[in-house]
Amino acid sequence: MSDETPAFPSAPSSSSRQPATPNLLSGINWAAPEILCVLATFVFMLLGRFGTSLGFPAGLAPWLFLIAYLTGGTRGTIKGIRSLLGGTVDVDLLMVLAALGAAYVNHAFEGAMLLFLFSLSNTLQELAMERSRSAISALMKLRPETALCKRGTETRLVKIDELVVGDIVLIRPGESIPIDGVVIEGMSHVNQSSITGESLPIEKKPGDPLFAGTLNEQGGLEMRATKPAIESTLAKLIELVEKAQSQKASTQRFLEKAEQWYALGVILFTVSLIVVPIYLFHEPFQSTFYRAMTVMVVASPCALVISTPASILSAIAAAARRGVLFKGGVYLEKAAAIEIVAFDKTGTLTEGRPVVTDLQVIVRPEQSPSDIGCSKEELLWLAAAVEGRSEHPVARAIVAEAKRRFMPIERVTKFQSVAGHGVSADVVGRRIAVGNLKYFDGYESPERTALEEQMNLLHDAGKTGMLVGEIIGDEKAPTVRYLGFIAVADKVRAEAPLIIARLRELGVKRIAMLTGDGKRVAAAVGKACGVDDVYADLLPQDKVRAIQKLKELGKTAMVGDGVNDAPALATADVGIAMGAAGTDVAMETADIVLMSDALEGIPFTLAISRRTRTVVYQNLTFALAVIVVLIISALGFNLPLPLGVVGHEGSTVLVCLNGLRLLGFRN
């Protein structure tokens, strides 16, 4: 970072640009053809019915009803004919036939009302479904169209699509991040809720990633673009959500396949209701035909067909707004049935980065408390100096702890490393070694047995112990004087036990942890988290076998990072990748993607899946019940066609709106 911080002109706050809660009637284009047709049908239907009271000639009524039929039935007729040409029979054809039948027996007003309510119902359904489809696509509007780009000595506004990898972009306070990149100068807090679903702004400093579509809240930032606009995390998120919304749930696919057979059955049933009473029981044609038309209307499966997609699409959109991406409705259904959850350990149940937990110097009996030979600060300083040349995660943890305490990292000479065991180097004239017990196997020491016991205790607590010793004597017969040991551990996330408990409340019967760590460390972490089963010392293929074993006990979800756990994620009934923001591999690997690494996304995923399943069952039950009641009423109680139309179309709108409620789901 340069010494001089660039000046950023102020920008108006964009906090109000977060996507609003969807409202069914907001943003309606009243000039749209379908809206105009619905309004025209309503007007001409009323004019045909009450025109004579307004002074219209009596002969004008049939023509007014004809216009109402044309405006209300043209779309349905076209769709019905297309379905017939495709070898299927759908609900649109049933409604048009019923309306024509009503007109045939001198009930043109009832037929016009049927077309009006049917077209109105379809329009409301389309508006509701569009709300669910556009709930996540609205996030695209958060990305600005231009960016302040710095190229050489020139700074100018350029279109987002003109930015290339490596461009320097200036982000002013209150502006949205235009493209994926990394901070190179400045500090600020960025609201990433549009991508990861995190409720609190995240501090950003040089080296931290930035995602397109997120909001810079306070300070000015200077960033370097790392991806072109079309490959940004936000663009991939939108693309995947759109694909997910086009992939239908198994229940929806079944209902759509059954619709054509059901509709054909309704037509045959309607024909029988006309033929049988007239020719066998000699009932009058007009009343018999009218009753058959009423049955055709009320038996139509409109509410059944719309009940599932309305719920599925709303749930997918609501989850995406919270940073949870379902790859399709089928995975939403599968997640609702999950009984077993298997977690990867590192970076999932734990923080994913080792930290120093213990510093212990060795006090020998011959030493007084005030003369222990090495303080904890000196122990850490010596170890950090040696480990500063190593890239091992434990070494990085030790160096990070020293830096946190503002200790200088001393330069060393004669550095040597034994892979998997330890390192040594000369530090200010002393030969210092840092390693595990095996590293010190070649050195004699009476303290060996006691140190082994202490190392075992550390392992039992889920920690990795590293001995620090000074090598003394000549090269032919070196000995070691142990100075102390440093314990390092990948800490369990503070929220992990609460998340495990929440999963049990949601009905998860068994929770397992899979890890490549040793059994002692794994057992300690598993106990701290409260899982039921711990599988340790696992290679990727071993994790696959563990998942297969768990699947024998029930529907299983695997939670991992989407990269190292790819085989296990693919084997599970549902694979869930965590922390996938900016990670292409993770976004392509799993069935469900959590854009942030927050564990809270796991219970939310299961909760919204289960809630969606409940809503779908509610809709199906309600729709079937309405159909049965209306059919019984039409056959046994001479239900008037207008009431049948209101009941049928009303149930269709209600199940659609019930599914739309999932857009506001909160766990």
Each residue of 203-234: pLDDT tens digit?
Answer: 888 989 998 888 888 788 999 999 888 888 77
Out of 235-239, 362-366, 391-395, 639-643, which region has the weakest mean confidence (pLDDT)? 362-366
Residue 92 a catalytic site member: no
The per-residue pLDDT for 555 is 95
* CA atoms lying within 13 Å on the CB side of residue 544: 8
d(CA 264, CA 256): 13
DSSP H or E run through 634? helix 601-636
φ and ψ of 105, to 5 deg:
-105, 30
pLDDT at 627 over 90: yes
Averaged confidence pLDDT in the chain: 83
* Range from 68-77, 84-93, 304-313, 472-481 that averages highest in pLDDT: 68-77
CB within 8 A of 9, min separation 6: which ones?
172
pLDDT at 656 over 60: yes
Out of 71-80, 133-142, 568-577, which region has the weakest mean confidence (pLDDT)? 133-142
- Average pLDDT score over residue span 632-639: 90
- Cβ distance 399 to 387 under 8 Å? yes
Residue pLDDT, tens place only, 230-250:
888 777 777 766 665 566 667
Same fold, 15-21+144-231 and 337-349+493-609: no
d(CA 170, CA 147): 8
pLDDT at 548 over 90: yes
d(CA 549, CA 455): 33
CATH architecture of the domain formed by 355-489:
3-Layer(aba) Sandwich (3.40)
Active-site residue identified among 90, 92, 180, 344? 344
pLDDT interval class at 564 (50, 70, 90):
low
Q: Is the pTM of this model over 0.75?
A: no
Out of 185-189, 431-435, 588-592, which region has the weakest mean confidence (pLDDT)? 588-592
pLDDT at 58 over 50: yes
pLDDT at 20 over 50: no
CATH architecture of the domain formed by 15-21+144-231:
Distorted Sandwich (2.70)
- Residue 202's CB is within 10 A of a number of other CB atoms, namely 18
- The domains of the chain are located at 15-21+144-231, 33-136+244-315+610-664, 337-349+493-609, 355-489
Q: Residue 230 corresponds to which tokens in the numbers above?
A: 């079309």
CATH class of 337-349+493-609: alpha beta
CA distances from 471 to 30, 251, 429, 480, 482 (A): 85, 70, 11, 5, 9
